[in-house]
Amino acid sequence: MSDIIRRDPRAEWIARNRLHPLHAAMQPAQHSWMGPNGVIRKNVHGVGFIGPNGIKRIDRSGAQQGGAAKRTATVDVQLPLHQVAAPAFYINVVPDMVGGRLSSHDRDLLGLARQLAGSDGAVLAVVFGEHKENAFATAGVDRLLVLEGHAFDGYSPEQRVQGLRAVDNQFNPRHWLLPDSRSGGGELGRRFAASLKERPATRVWQIKGEQCIGRAGAGQQDLARPLPRLILAAAECADPVSETRHEVLPVELSTALARRLPRIEDLGAVAVDPAAIPMAEAEFIFSGGNGVKDWALFHQTAAALGATEGASRVAVDDGFMARDRQVGASGTWVTARVYVAVGISGAIQHLQGIGACDKVVAINLDPGCDMIKRADLSVIGDSAAILQALIAAVEAYRHGAKRDAA
Amino acid sequence: MNTHVISLVSIGAHPTSGRPRRAEQDARAVELGLQMAGDKLQVLHAGNIAEPTLRSYLGMGLAQLHVLEQPAGADALPVLSEYLRDAGAQVVLTGSQAETGEGSGMLPFLLAEHLGWPLIVGLAQVESIDSGVAHVLQALPRGQRRRLKVRLPFLATVDNAAPKPRQSAYGPAQRGELAAHEVEVEEDELFTGAVLQPAKPRPKRLKVIKAKSGADRMKAATAKASGGGGQVLKGVSPEAGAEAILKLLVEEGVVR
C-alpha cells in the first residue's frame, strides 16, 4: 500500500454516525501524555475530525465524533493454518534444497504432495544437513525431518539412500516424491528406487486419481500408468501451495543411522573457467554497467571472485563488453543464484533479464535507482573503491581459510 | 591405459522425425570408452541384431559389437547383469537414459545394485586410473565439475557434458562385425499396466494473480519486479560494504 493519506468518506461517515455498529471502532485515539513536569499534554492537531465537506470540525461537547485516524494497511495476511493432528498416512518429499533453500521445483513438488495428502495425510519433508529455508510453513510442509550429521556433507548419495531407507522403515509413507532434476533429486530418487527394488514413475508431469502420466523416451511419448509408490516428478508437475499455512512440526528418526563407508569419495569441487560457462546457466554473475569507469578493475574483481561476467546494454553498446555478455530483454535471460550488479541502475529490460535470480547485490552511487529496490543487499558508494576493497577482502578470506586448514 | 571398458549402447530416436539413429548419450559413452581403452573397448547391446542402426556405432571405428539377442519389449536388465558379471570389466559406461521405450534412466542404477558396484552419475572425464582407484570428474548442473575418487570396478553414466562423439563412417560401419550371443528372454512386466501414447504438449503455466481488490490487481499488472525490503548500506566505508557483500557471497556458497 502507498503511504499517501487518502480520505475514506465511508469511514468518516461511520465515525459521525453514532448509531452505526462500527461507530466505536472508528473513533480516533486521543493523543495525550504526561509531560516532563507532570502536566498532561495534548496534540492539538489530533483533535477533531474532517467533516463531510472536508473541513475540520472540533466537537467540544465531549462526544468526539470524527474519524481522522490514519488507517494503517495490513499487508501481511495470515493464511489459514492447516493442521494434521494424527496423520492417517504420510507423503514423503525429499526436496533438492539447492543452496539450502526450496527451489521452485521443490515447491511444485510440495504442492503435488499436498494434493496427494488430502485432509488426512501429512506431508513430511526430509532435508539433509543444514538449510537456510524459513518458508516451509507456506510451502506446505506438515512435518519436517532434518537428517543431520557430517556423513551427509558434500556428495554422499549412498549415505543419503541409507538415511531414506531408515525414514521409510519408520514412517512407511504412502508415496515418496522426489524432483526429477539434475541437481540431485533425479539421481537420489533412482538410487533409492534401486535400493528399495521398486519401479518408480519418472518425469511425471500429471497425476489424476490413481493414474500418472510421465514423459517417456526422448520426450516424444507419454507413459500413462497406475500411480506407483515412488514418484520422480518433473518441474511444474502441480501448482505450489498458496492458500494455507502448515505446522512444520519437527520429527526425528527413532534409530541412529549406521555410518556406511562410502565407496565414492568426494574430493571437492574443481575450479572451472567461469568464462566458459554459458551465461544463461551460470550460477554466479558479476555484471557491470554504465557506472563502471575502470574496466580493468572490473575484470580483475570478477576473476578474484571466480564469477561469470555480464554486462548491461549500455556497457555493451559502449564497447566495453562483448555482445554475448549482455543481460536483459535483448540479451540473455539469466538464472544465476547470485547476481552482483555494479553501476547498473536497473532498466526494466535488465530487471526482466534477472527475474529468475535468487539474490541480487547492487553497488551503485544512486540510492534511488530501481536496481536497489530489487536488490537484497545494496551498497551505496563509488564502485572503484568498493571493488578494490572487495578484492582485498576476498584475498584475505582465502588466505584465512588456508591458514585455518593448515 | 589397459583398462577393460565396456560401453552399453541402445537404439535412439531422432527427436523430430522419430527415425532410429545412434543414441546421443550412448555415442558419447562409446567415445569416452574409445578415449580410455582404444581398440580394446568392448561395446554391448541387448536387443535386435537385425537393426541396421547398430552399424552406426561400428562406424565410429569399432571392429566388433556384441549383441545379446532379444526381441523388443524384453527386459534387458537380467541378461546384461549376467553378462557383465562374467565379462571381467573394470569400467562400464552407459548413457543416462534411453531415447525409446520407457526411458526412465533406471537401468544403470539397477545394474549397479545387482552387481554391487559403485555408480557415478554424469561422468565427464576420467583423469587417472592407477592401482585399482580411479579419479574422475563428474558434471554438475550450471557447468560445474566435481572430482570423485572411486574404486574399480565401477559403472558410470555419461550425459551431455561428456566428450562429443566422433562421426560415424560408412566403410567401417559395413566392415564391422556383429557378434551375436544367445540369451534367455525375460518379458518386461511394465507394459501390463502402462500405455505409451504420443506426448501431449504441456500447458504453459499461467501467472495467476490472487488479488482481492482492484487496486491490488492493478499493482500486480503494472508494478516492477522488486525484492522488497533489501538491506541498503548507505554512508559506509568501502571496506565495510565489501565485507557485507563478501559475507553474503560466502553464505550463498559461491565464493570458495
Confidence of residue A17 (pLDDT cuts 50, 70, 90): confident
**Candidate from B113, B245, B254 with C-beta closest to A284:** B254
Which A positions 135-164 lie with beta carbon below 8 A of chain B?
Answer: 155, 157-158
Distance CA A384, CA A342 (A): 10
The answer to whether A360 faces chain B, any CB pair under 8 Å, is yes
- Domain of A112, CATH number, reads 3.40.50.620
What's the whole-number average pLDDT of chain A?
86
Contact A267, B135 (CB under 8 A): yes
Strands A40-42, A32-34: pairing kind: antiparallel
Q: Which amino acid is at A314?
A: V
**Residues B42-79: tens digit of each pLDDT:** 999 999 999 899 999 999 999 999 999 998 888 889 99
**Residues A40-50: tens digit of each pLDDT:** 888 777 777 77
**Candidate from A205, A243, A377 with C-beta closest to B248:** A377
- Is A183 found in the same domain as A55? no
- Is A140 found in the same domain as A44? no
Measured between CA atoms, the residue of chain A closest to residue B208 is A239
Chain A positions touching B230 (Cβ under 8 A) are 360, 372-378
Q: How far is A357 from chain B (nearest CA, A)?
A: 10
- Domain of A352, CATH number, reads 3.40.50.1220
Q: How far is A48 from chain B (nearest CA, A)?
A: 30
Closest CA to A171 of A153, A149, A145: A145
**Candidate from A183, A373, A379 with C-beta closest to B226:** A373
Confidence of residue A72 (pLDDT cuts 50, 70, 90): very low
Q: Which amino acid is at A285?
A: I
**Residues B150-204: tens digit of each pLDDT:** 998 999 999 888 889 999 999 999 999 999 988 888 877 766 778 888 888 887 8
In chain B, where the domains are located? 5-192
* Residue ending a domain, choose from A12, A45, A75: A75
**Candidate from A270, A284, A359 with C-beta closest to B145:** A270
- Is A362 found in the same domain as A332? yes
Q: Which residue do the cell numbers 525429499 mark?
A: A94
Q: Per the CB < 8 Å rule, is A370 touching B224? A: yes
Whether the pLDDT of residue B123 is over 60: the answer is yes
Distance CA A347, CA B235 (A): 24
DSSP class per residue in A40-101 = EEE-GGGSSEE-TTS-EE--TTS------PPPPP---PPPPEE--SS-SSEEEE----GGGS
Q: How far is B39 from chain A (nearest CA, A)?
A: 28
Note whether residue A257 is domain-resident: no
Whether the pLDDT of residue B132 is over 50: the answer is yes
ipTM here = 0.88
Measured between CA atoms, the residue of chain A closest to residue B104 is A202
Higher-confidence position of A391 and A7: A391
Distance of CA B90 to CAs A63, A324, B154, Å?
94, 43, 6
Mean predicted confidence (pLDDT) in A253-270: 85
- Is A196 found in the same domain as A62? no
Superfamily of domain B5-192: HUPs (3.40.50.620)
pTM for this prediction: 0.79
Chain B positions touching A382 (Cβ under 8 A) are 238
- Residue A225 structural domain: 81-251
**Residues A134-191: tens digit of each pLDDT:** 889 999 999 999 998 888 888 889 999 999 999 999 999 999 999 999 888 999 999 9
Choose from A181, A242, A270, A286 for mutation: most chain B CBs within 10 A. Answer: A270
pLDDT computed for residue A339 by the predictor: 94
**Candidate from A190, A225, A361 with C-beta closest to B105:** A190
- Is A220 found in the same domain as A105? yes
Whether the pLDDT of residue B34 is over 70: the answer is yes
Contact B137, B147 (CB under 8 A): yes
Chain A positions touching B248 (Cβ under 8 A) are 338, 359, 361, 376-377
Distance CA A352, CA B39 (A): 52
**Candidate from B144, B234, B239 with C-beta closest to A389:** B239
* Residue ending a domain, choose from A48, A75, A102: A75
Split into its structural domains, chain A has a count of 3
Handedness of CA A273, A279, A284, A287 (dihedral sign): positive
- Is A211 found in the same domain as A102? yes
pLDDT-above-90 percentage for chain A = 46
Q: How far is A257 from chain B (nearest CA, A)?
A: 21
- Is A69 found in the same domain as A86? no
Note whether residue A256 is domain-resident: no
